[in-house]
Amino acid sequence: MLFAEAVQLALRGLGVDVVGIAHTGDEGLELLASTCPDVVLLDIGLPDRRGLAVGREMLQRSPGVKILALTALHDGRLARDALRAGFSGYLTKDTDMRRLRRAIEAAFSGEVTISSRLAPQVAGKRAEDAFSTMMSQLTHRERDVLGLLAEGADSPKIAERLHISRHTVRTHVQSIFAKLNVHSRLEAAAFAARHGIVGVGDDRRPA
């Protein structure tokens, strides 16, 4: 099954209305004109045209549309170029589907989402917006857990510090992974350390 079809099935299963799939840039422009979608998931590596150029043309033809790059390319430069072109986010194809759904909802609300692994490479206000978007998805308790992960605490220690069960800790950790698009405690701790999130209740950016 092609990746686009797999994403379509997964998103529909999560309640997202997917109006169609295009496999080339020209097909995408035609689909945009015929369906007028709110949000477009656009692969940067299209077979017939450069995805960034197609995205720019979509925004020219339909200024209200929101475009999320969904690509296999872990490339900070391309992410910056996409945001400068007016895209509402840049995510990689290993993004969890629930995380992708949240990114679609964020784009619809005018927010920007960037793959957490690329966010540090994307300078300027867009990166700040992306960080704020990711952090706003975490509950207060999840932020506490993230801060303790950054300190190197394991599940028993986190459970003790927060007065919750180890099972609840695992649930919070898995939710953090999905919301920040990371795949391990080490990646989550690295994200927290990069952004100065250390200790219970401390979700501040570094000064």
Number of folded domains that form the chain: 2
Residue type for position 83: L
Please indicate, yes or no, if residue 181 is contained in any of the structural domains. Answer: yes
Residue 160 is part of a domain; what is its CATH number?
A: 1.10.10.10
pLDDT average, residue stretch 63-73? 90
Q: What is the domain range of residue 189?
A: 140-194
List, in sequence order, every residue forming a beta bridge with 68; answer none if it has no partner.
41, 89
178 to 32, 85, 99, 119: CA distances (angstroms)? 29, 27, 6, 16
Same domain, 178 and 114: no
- Residue 201: inside a domain: no
90 beta partners: 69, 114
Residue 24 maps to a domain:
yes
The Cβ of residue 43 has, within 10 Å, a number of other Cβ atoms equal to 20
**116 in any annotated domain:** yes
Q: Is the pLDDT of residue 125 over 70?
A: no
Domain containing 92 — which CATH number? 3.40.50.2300
Q: Tell whether 113 and 166 lie within a shared domain.
A: no
pTM above 0.85, yes or no: no
- What pLDDT, in 10s, does the model give residues 73-86? 888 888 888 888 88
Residues 8 and 110 in one domain: yes
Spatial distance between the Cα atoms of 147 and 192, rounded to a whole number of angstroms: 7
Residue 13 lies in a domain: yes
Residue 15 and residue 88 in one domain: yes
Q: Are 108 and 10 part of one and the same domain? A: yes
Q: What digits encode the pLDDT tens for the residues 140-176? A: 899 899 989 888 889 999 999 999 999 999 999 988 8
Distance CA 22, CA 71 (A): 15
202 lies in some domain: no
Any domain includes 36: yes
Instruction: Read off the tokens for 36.
Output: 């007028």
Radius of gyration of the chain (CA): 18
The pair of structure tokens assigned to 136 is: 């706003």
List strand residue ranges (DSSP E) for the chain, in order. Answer: 39-42, 66-71, 89-92, 113-114
User: Is 33 within the bounds of a domain?
Assistant: yes
